[in-house]
Amino acid sequence: MKTAISLPDSIFEEAEALALQLGLSRSELYAKALQAYLKKHNRDQILHQLNQVYATESSELDPVMARIQFMSLPHEDW
More confident residue, 46 or 57: 46
Closest CA to 3 of 21, 26, 20, 24: 26
Do the domain assignments include residue 64? yes
Q: Are the beta carbons of 15 and 29 closer than 8 angstroms?
A: yes
User: Do the domain assignments include residue 15?
Assistant: yes
**What pTM was estimated for this model as a whole?**
0.59
pLDDT at residue number 10? 97
Model pLDDT, residue 61: 83
pLDDT tens digit sequence for 6-53: 999 999 999 999 999 999 999 999 999 999 999 998 999 999 988 888
How far from 45 is each of 39, 41, 54, CA to CA, in Å?
Answer: 10, 6, 14
The answer to whether residue 78 is domain-embedded is no
Question: How many domains is the chain built from?
Answer: 1
- Domain of 50? 9-72
**What's the start-to-end Cα distance of the chain, in Å?**
68
Predicted confidence at residue 17, as pLDDT, reads 98
Whole-angstrom distance, CA of residue 37 vs CA of residue 65: 42
